[in-house]
Structure 1
Amino acid sequence: MEILYIEAKRNNALTMKINNLYVHSKYDPINEAKNIVSANFKLNHLHVLFGLGASHVANEIATRLTEDEALLIIEPNSVVVDNLRDDDTFKNMIHKDNVELINFDGHDLDKLKIILSTYIDKFMGRVEIIVTPNYDKLYAEILLSVYKDIKDVLIHNIVNNNTRNMFANEWQKNHILNLRHFYQSEDISVLFNKIHQPIVIASGGPSLEKQLELLKKFRKDIFLICAGSTLNTLLINNIKPDLLVTVDGGINNFNHFKDINLEEIPIAFPLILHHKILEKNTGQKYIFSIHDHVVMNNITNDLLNAEISNIQSGQSVANFSLNIALKLTSLPICLIGQDLAYTNHYTHSLGNKNMKKIDEEFINNRKAFYTEGYYGEDVLTDYVFEGMRKSFEQIIENETYSNEVFNCTEGGVKIKGFKQIAFSKFLNDSIDDKANENFLIENNDLIVKEIPSEFINKINKKILDYKELLEVLEKTLKLFEQYHENNDYSFHNLSEDLIQSDNTIKTYLNDQFLFYIVSPVIYKVNHLDLKRDQENDQEVEGRLVRKSTVLYTDIEHSVSKMVRWLEVLINKINNKEFPE
């Protein structure tokens, strides 16, 4: 593309033409940039600027940024960036902490999505897109790709935030109450490289039904991993898996298992699993940590004086199951029932408690869309399934393994990177009658480790410390009551008194375990009651008081629940009944 720099007619600033199209005003590009930014700049937002040009719009946005905003510049043409390398204004702008420039020519979509996800999560979906003039004509396809990526990331961000808000409380409770099960479990690593049969991972998509007869016929010749709630379908058909992988901490996940006898079914789990599922399982348990939960893993290992093995995460229990399977064997692995689509307008296979036939209302609510299917046909999927599919593709792309991995679903979506063969062919080609015996711990060989007094003492110490913190929080909240009820107790008085309380509370929050529990509260409050344009002093004062009141109230609630759960844990260790 031809790039020309031309002196503007009304000042000494340079305007710019790319392929004979001006991307800034030829009269006054600086004033034009101010008008563009005035019309589009938003407080508390991430600003995505498509098109750097001569940097006039970017410079103007950067001058208006505070610590509460950020600028992400996407430039499709590397020559445009190179031409500005020696420009002092550009260099100063690009070195700001909340400004980032990426060169995106339409190819490295994964890198762009990772960067967008990081920013959009930080700003909780508050995004403003600005397009430099004529960049929509010069780079139409790339701009469409950027719009699509932002839309996809925003939808996944909404899903993730809803999940975080809905389940944060449950996950924390489960994590605490499940700590005792560490002493009744083996680390998942005891199974690594110990399975000498091909592995079949069964998921609960509608296409599973067509594979059940073959699964029964060859049951003794394979190692069968059941992904989560698929267990109901398998057991109805008298098929018992070798290993149940389940990770979900929600009550709905427990409801899948509450009427099932789990004593004879080995289970692989992380500590966030719903605690009542583990209470039902008195047989083999294999514990693992979720790789992405770095902070909590370190805290847990320190608390338990252990090193729990990590398993790469994903957006579904089947993603976890594949990551586990790749560590258990070097033999072939296949997926069945992994539709990730509404095959024949059904959600799940027969026997799954969530199975239902979908209708237009369901399709609209899920924002379902068509994508490429297993056989090249169009199949109906949605953004949640799409995220799971991409997780599978990332596993295949990034994981170092020697296995052959197949998708034998024979229905649903096409998952890139997976070889597609009929399930019957996989079984006939992969089974070895002379395979060595698999390693699994028999129930009568289970070793239940005594819970050490050191661990119990740590938990009791935390209970005492957190009760002390609750007293500090109670006194702090009384300061806010005093502020609202006493006209002589000013915002200045409140601010002075809060300094001492803040310092005390921060000391307690040095406890990483505690900080992890209250961090969702801090995250939520940081995005509430955001600053508004042209606030006066009284409005700023009111906003800060409201935010602080919500923050300390929510921290108090979180710490109270944490104390309660820790007390329940101690009583369960002592085999005492204690209401949750």
Structure 2
Amino acid sequence: MSSISNKESAGNREILYKNLFYNAELFTCRFPELSAALGLDSEIGIKQFAERIPESYYLEEAKLKETDKKIFTARINGKYLHSKYNPISEAEKNISLDFFEDKKAKSSCVFCGLGLGYAQELYAKKYPKSSLIIIEPDLFVFFLFLQSRPLDDFFMHENLILLLGLYPKDVLDFFESKSFFDTPIFKIQSLIDVSSSWFSEFEALKKRRNEKTNLNKNTLKKFGKLWLKNFLKNIKQTEGLFGINKIENIFASCPALIIAAGPGLDDTINLVKENEDKFIIIAADTAVRACHRHGLKPDFILLMDAQYWNYLHLSDLDISDSILITESSVYPAVFRLKTRAKFLCTSMFPLAQYIEKLIGEKGKLVTGGSVATACWDFARILGCSEIIFAGLDLAFPDFQTHFKGSRFEEDVNAFSNRFFPSETASHLSLYSASPQLKEGYEGKVLSDKRMQMYAWWFESKIAEFPDIKTYNLLPRGLKIPNMPALSMEEFLLKAKASPLSKKIKIEKMSALFNLSSYKKEGSFSSPNLSSALKELSTDLEKTMKLAREGMDICLNLLDSLKTGKPLEDSIIKKVWKT
């Protein structure tokens, strides 16, 4: 055990050894499952763990001696994590910073890095009712922490959360599930430097999630009323439609080909048409026009946007041979389109989600803000083992914004004049989002933050589902990690190896059509919908009542503070109840 035996005197070795086993027992009592997972719940496990610790990880006695106890500091790869003279005094200075004068920081705090936990332990003593969340990616650091001193007060802290040895994504998922994103984060640079690459990735992912959250909030703020209006208008149209959860894994082990509307689609659409029987063809609503121009009828079309303009992508096209996947808050005319069948996914509109939980959920599509991301998740739900993208650029290759003949291009040409030519509209579309040069599959390409967020979504989802292989066919745009480029030769080999044929596809698609034609008795019926709306009304009335009571309490408190009059007993009782 190098961290115990090689760097200290015999007396100190004995102290560290004693601390280790004592604290391991405290840790096991407080976090039995975590302790068992780390192997710290037994003497054998502790010794095996200690043998793995690098020699560059060890404890040293602090230079400022105390008569009644030993104080240690940690040294990792030649660098001290704490003061080598007096780490406790250093921790006291940290805890006395203005950061901890904030009310939020007093009630809960996330510490990035543990080290020997001097600052964290002082925080726990100073704020015994607070939530103390500690992130420590390096398990060897935690082992040194257990050796440093008796940790009774630390492990007795009421609201202690230890996030040890996790991936950055797992920590962020935990934060999201517990609503910790608004919790103040305290950083000590020397502790972060031990796992600098880990914390760099953590910060990058956190920033992306914050951007996504802000985007979702802004989207709800912008389209909330439109979603509500569309949802209420669509109720009768959507009552009898099945959800995508009814067709889960229906194309298990089959390859899917997703058609996006990027400029690169011009280079791949003919190749896709020649091999359409070998893949499940899923098209974004924005790309259907290009498909039809080349005689390609997608098996599935996804339309997820509530705006009228997205309906126009399909309004003048014959999509009667395709199955439409949509949600209950889209533009009402979408449900009047003649299609082979229609299936619903869970709405992105929170109120619609609430009602769907009461009357039967449809199946959630995890979208990253783009219909192309929804297409990927839909292919996953179908059970497709391989997913190939065509036209997924997420960039402006050769300064193009869309494929040739897109709805955008047609509208621009239709409304252009000598004072506002089509070139001006294209320029505004290209540069309004402040594009930057980023790494592409074939060198540098222009891309903006929104498209980079989509790329991150693909990167994270592909990593989450490693069994599903995802490729980008003849890509010209932004390089997406985990999504390798696919050449024409490789694509043809995959088409040849596909288990699908025209006959098999017809049989499976016919089964879906028959399913959609069958209305399951009692499923999503008017009585259920009616009762759900009544329940919603009751819940809203309760919320209104509580809000009024809260306002009355606040007004009485303010009045009492202004006039100096004591609060009435009835108001005091209400305050205690809340």
Question: TM-score if structure 1 supplies the norm length?
Answer: 0.66
In the alignment, the residues of structure 2 paired with residue 90 and residue 48 of structure 1 have an alpha-carbon distance, to the nearest angstrom, of 19
Change (3 A) 1:30 1:417: closer
Question: Which of 114, 119, 137 pairs up with 1:52?
Answer: 114
Q: CA deviation at 1:297?
A: 6.5
Do 2:342 and 2:516's aligned partners in 1 also have CA atoms closer than 8 Å? no
CA pair 480-89 structure 1, distance change in 2 beyond 3 A: same
The correspondence for 1:203, drawn from 260, 267, 273, is 260
Deviation, 1:240, is 3.9
Q: Give the letter aligned to residue 61 of structure 1.
A: Y
The one-letter code matched in structure 1 to 2:161 is E
Alignment of 1:159 with 2:226, yes or no, is no
After superposition, give the CA deviation of every residue in 1:247-292 in whole Å (9 maximum; x if it has no partner).
3446664565566676665311244x42525444354444354599
The alpha-carbon deviation at position 215 of structure 1 amounts to: 4.1
Query: What is the Cα deviation at residue 159 of structure 1?
Result: 3.3
- Could you tell me which amino acid in structure 2 is paired with residue 246 of structure 1? L
- Shift in alpha-carbon separation, 1:358–1:112, aligned structure 2, 3 A: farther
SS of the counterpart of 1:25? coil
Deviation, structure 1 residue 130: 1.5
Structure 2 CA distance for partners of 1:369 and 1:420, relative to 1, 3 Å: closer
Counterpart of 1:527 in structure 2 is: none
Counterpart-to-counterpart distance in 2, 1:319 and 1:82: 42
Q: 2:134 aligns with which of 73, 87, 100?
A: 73
Structure 1 match to 2:83 = 25
| C-alpha distance after superposition, 1:325-378 (max 9, x if no partner) | 3454668542111122333344433444567447896454x7x5623x324x33
- AA partner of residue 242 (structure 2): E
SS, match of residue 567 in structure 2 = helix
The answer to whether the aligner puts 1:496 opposite 2:571 as a matched pair is yes
1:414 aligns with 2:479: yes
1:388 aligns with 2:446: no
Q: Is it true that 1:458 corresponds to 2:514 in the alignment?
A: no
**Cα 1:22/1:348, change in 2 over 3 Å:** same
- Residue 94 of structure 2 aligns with which residue? 36
Whether the 8 Å CA contact 1:408–1:420 is kept in 2: the answer is yes
Match in the other structure for 2:60: 5
- CA distance in 1 between partners of 2:104 and 2:382 (Å): 47
Q: Is the 8 A contact 1:290 1:313 kept in 2?
A: no
Which residue matches 1:561?
none
**Worse-matched range after superposition: 189-198 or 15-24:** 189-198
Please give the alpha-carbon distance, in whole angstroms, between the structure 2 residues aligned to 1:300 and 1:29.
56
Distance 1:386 1:92, change over 3 A: farther
Find the residue that maps to 1:49 and give its secondary structure.
strand
Aligned to 2:552: 479
Choose which of 148, 156, 162 in structure 2 pairs with 1:101.
162
1:111 aligns with 2:170: yes
Where does residue 379 of structure 2 map in the other structure?
325
Q: How do 1:99-498 and structure 2 match up within 5 A?
A: 99-104=160-165, 108-115=167-174, 122-124=180-182, 127-132=184-189, 134-135=190-191, 140-167=196-223, 178-188=234-244, 189-190=246-247, 192-193=249-250, 199-217=256-274, 222-235=279-292, 239-249=296-306, 253-254=310-311, 256=313, 265-271=322-328, 273-276=329-332, 278-281=334-337, 283-290=339-346, 300-301=356-357, 303-304=358-359, 306=360, 308-311=362-365, 313-328=367-382, 333-352=387-406, 356-357=426-427, 362=432, 364=434, 368=436, 370-371=438-439, 373-375=440-442, 377-399=443-465, 405-418=470-483, 420-423=485-488, 426-427=491-492, 429-430=494-495, 435-436=503-504, 437-438=506-507, 439-440=509-510, 446=517, 452-459=525-532, 461-462=534-535, 465=538, 468-469=541-542, 472=545, 476=549, 479=552, 483=556, 492-493=567-568, 496=571
Contact 2:224–2:349 (Cα < 8 Å) also in 1: no
The separation in 1 between residues aligned to 2:194 and 2:575, in whole angstroms, is 57
Distance 1:277 1:418 in 2: 36
1:96, 1:255 → 2: CA distance?
59
Residues 151-185 of structure 1: per-residue CA shift (max 9 Å, x gap): 44444443344345545565566556555444332
In 2, Cα distance between equivalents of 1:444 and 1:31: 71
The one-letter code matched in structure 2 to 1:412 is G
List alignment gaps of at least 5 residues for structure 1. Answer: 504-580
Larger Rg: 2
Question: Aligned partner of 1:44: which letter?
Answer: K
| TM-score of the superposed pair, with normalisation by structure 2 | 0.67
What is the one-letter code of the residue matched to 2:58?
I
Alpha carbons 1:197, 1:331 under 8 Å: kept:
yes
Whole-angstrom CA distance in 1 between matches of 2:176 and 2:194: 26
SS of 2:218's partner is: helix
The aligned length equals: 489
Alignment partners' CA distance in 1, 2:331 and 2:128? 44
Query: Quick check: 1:288–1:310 contact (8 Å CA) kept in 2?
Result: no
Kindly indicate whether the alpha-carbon contact (under 8 Å) linking 1:476 and 1:501 is maintained by their aligned counterparts in 2.
no
Q: Cα 1:332–1:456, aligned 2, differ >3 Å: closer, same or farther?
A: closer
**1:324 match: secondary structure:** helix
Relative to 1, partners in 2 of residues 1:384 and 1:32: Cα closer, same or farther, differing over 3 Å? same
SS of the residue 2:96 aligns to: helix
Name the CA shift for 1:316/1:76 in 2 (closer, same or farther; >3 Å). Answer: same
Per-residue deviation, 1:210: 1.7
Q: Which residue of structure 1 aligns with residue 51 of structure 2?
A: none
Aligned counterpart, 2:20: none
TM-superposed deviation, 1:81 = 1.1
Does the aligned pair in 1 maintain the 2:74–2:116 contact within 8 Å? no
Q: Measure the CA separation in 2 of the matches of 1:261 and 1:494.
A: 70
Moved more, 325-334 or 341-350: 325-334
CA distance in 2, matches of 1:250, 1:163: 12
Cα–Cα, structure 1 residues 26 and 193, in superposed 2: closer, same or farther, change >3 Å?
closer
Cα RMSD for the two superposed structures:
4.8
Task: Show CA shifts across 1:408-437 (max 9, x none).
Answer: 142223344445323575257516666422
Q: Distance in 1 between matches of 2:540 and 2:134?
A: 48
**Partners of 2:111 and 2:135 within 8 A in 1:** yes
Secondary structure, counterpart of 1:44 in structure 2: helix
> 2:545 corresponds to which letter in structure 1?
V
CA–CA separation in structure 2 for the residues paired with 1:428 and 1:292:
38
SS in 2 for 1:193: coil
Shift of 1:202: 0.5
Mean CA deviation greater in 311-320 or 354-363: 354-363
1:205 corresponds to which letter in structure 2? G
Counterpart CA distance in 1 for 2:122 and 2:539 is: 48
The one-letter amino acid of 2:438's match is: Y
Q: Which runs of 5+ in 2 are unaligned?
A: 1-55, 410-425
Q: Is the 8 A contact 1:343 1:411 kept in 2?
A: yes
The separation in 1 between residues aligned to 2:82 and 2:283, in whole angstroms, is 59
| 1:115 Cα deviation after fit | 4.3
